[in-house]
Structure 1
Amino acid sequence: MDIESVRKNAFAMPLTSPAYPPGPYRFVNREFFIITYRTDRDRLRAVVPEPLQVPDDPLVSYEFIRMPDSTGFGDYTESGQVIPVTFGGKPGTYTLAMYLDDHPPLAGGRELWGFPKKLAKPVLATHKDTLVGTLDYGPVRVATGTMGYKHRALDLAEQQRRLELPNYLLKIIPHVDGTARICELARNYMVDITMKGAWTGPASLELAHHALAPVAELPVLEIVEARHLVADLTLALGEVVYDYLAK
């Protein structure tokens, strides 16, 4: 293969059989179970990188997400912590960590957008009258969320507005010598959203300590809200808003 062919075909690794296809990436019947809780302010500020700012109210959204039909990525589930932030005075979210069970979105999420994804076993399912989300890292259960199933409908327009907020990621890709080759704050959006349902109900969240899945380092002090959403949407490609290596 000549040099020009390498340049033309280089999208993802391996070169001759990429781990995932080019976008855009459309998700059909994407299901969210989001539990927002109040946590320790100092611990929260310690994990959010500047120039992002943490609001005075120290909130975390713990998410379980089912994706049964996604372009190129297939059928998978993920779970993790997303933090409300501001950038330049405008609201958004910062993804601290995500755990999922499928290689293409794990590789693509890290390489394209900078999603901090690790391999684990999240599950989101309905058990009779209860929506249940769990996360296992190896044999250890590290997160359990429950909510009464569809107790009360939420306003669809308001939930779409919240999904449309920008999401920020700290994208890190090392050089071959082990130093940082890329270290940048990236921003992306969910677009072309069609809301299919939104509900709330009584909820609980338990987090357990684990050395490699440290979700409990942001402890649950108080449940603020819980949401169950179903939507079709496209995850748009991102943009760099801050380069930590720039001189």
Structure 2
Amino acid sequence: MAIPLDQITSMPAFSPYFPPPPARYRNAKFQYVYFRASLEAIDRVLPECFEPSPDGMCAAIGLSVPWCSSYGAFDESVLSVKCVYEGTEGWFAPVVFLNSKSSIPAGREIYGTPKVHADFEIGFDERVMYTNTLVGGTMLMGVRSTMHRPADADEMPSGNPAWRIKAIPRADGNGVDVLQLIDVTNTPTDQVIHVCRAGDGVVQFNPSPIYDLSDFTPLKYFGAFYVELDMTENWGEIVKDFLAE
């Protein structure tokens, strides 16, 4: 019996490359460094439905996932920028780097998260945690932070709403088949925080012929946080379908 079209969620149709949400994460380690970048740099990476937040706030994030039910173990880094959509302040991730084989297509196809492949160096050097993101032999983004004081998760700047732009091109080259604004704010549930600490952090961006973020050199720092947690990752929310108008 052939596979009904209304039961196909991704390909291969008989055995999808990645399972649908929910995905369970155990002991995921997150490193956040908050800083201010130039509004020109932020505007350069924003789709036109957004405008930069006047404060130029950004976050460089490194994370290491030792176990995930859907994607196995992987490492990731994120640049997230504060922006405004129709009068509401939120955050947009212009690029996300991973070393995962299955999480990259899942993130792009389900949520529109702009995931691309990278190599990583993640570890601790005495009291400093570091996340180095490498593409084409270049360290595109380096994140370093301490965690010398206890903290509460409520101290961290709100990263919500957390927006993505889901874009899938037409096969004939004439524009896109999908162009949607996605909110992943409520995607994580069942969060259990095991560790939350704070400290100081720095971020380094280097020039590259692709994914060049060198104009995001920080103008000011706003501190750093370290979090270890368990969570469940669920479906996102379609805020706006740009092609439906």
Question: Do the structures match in fold with TM over 0.5?
Answer: yes
Distance 1:42 1:140, change over 3 A: closer
2:158 counterpart SS class: helix
Query: Aligned letter for 2:83?
Result: V
Aligned partners of 1:64 and 1:122 also within 8 Å? no
Aligned partners of 2:204 and 2:217 also within 8 Å? no
Shift of 1:76: 0.1
Q: Determine the C-alpha separation between the residues in 2 that align with 1:28 and 1:211.
A: 36
**Correspondence list, 1:9-24, <5 A:** 9-24=7-22
Aligned partners of 1:194 and 1:232 also within 8 Å? yes
Structure 2, unpaired ranges of 5+ = none
Q: Determine the C-alpha separation between the residues in 2 that align with 1:215 and 1:68.
A: 28
Q: Determine the C-alpha separation between the residues in 2 that align with 1:111 and 1:214.
A: 24
Task: Check if 1:245 corresponds to 2:219.
Answer: no
- Percent identity reads 22
Corresponding residue for residue 168 of structure 1: 163
Between 1:10-19 and 1:97-106, the stretch displaced more is 10-19
Task: Check if 1:70 corresponds to 2:74.
Answer: no
1:209 counterpart SS class: coil
Shift of 1:89: 4.2
Q: Determine the C-alpha separation between the residues in 2 that align with 1:233 and 1:95.
A: 20
Runs of 4+ in 1 over 6 A off after TM superposition: none
Q: Determine the C-alpha separation between the residues in 2 that align with 1:37 and 1:106.
A: 26
Query: Aligned letter for 2:228?
Result: V
Aligned partners of 1:99 and 1:122 also within 8 Å? no
Q: Determine the C-alpha separation between the residues in 2 that align with 1:158 and 1:204.
A: 19
Q: Determine the C-alpha separation between the residues in 1 that align with 2:203 and 2:154.
A: 26
Across the two proteins, how many residue pairs are aligned to each other? Answer: 242
Shift of 1:166: 2.8
**Correspondence list, 1:8-47, <5 A:** 9-47=7-45
Q: Determine the C-alpha separation between the residues in 1 that align with 2:244 and 2:6.
A: 28
**Correspondence list, 1:74-113, <5 A:** 74-113=72-111
Structure 1, unpaired ranges of 5+ = none
Between 1:187-196 and 1:57-66, the stretch displaced more is 187-196
Shift of 1:88: 4.7
Q: Determine the C-alpha separation between the residues in 1 that align with 2:44 and 2:55.
A: 15
Over aligned residues, Cα RMSD in angstroms?
1.9
Aligned partners of 1:156 and 1:197 also within 8 Å? no
Shift of 1:90: 4.1
Query: Aligned letter for 1:180?
Result: V
Distance 1:133 1:218, change over 3 A: same
Shift of 1:80: 2.1
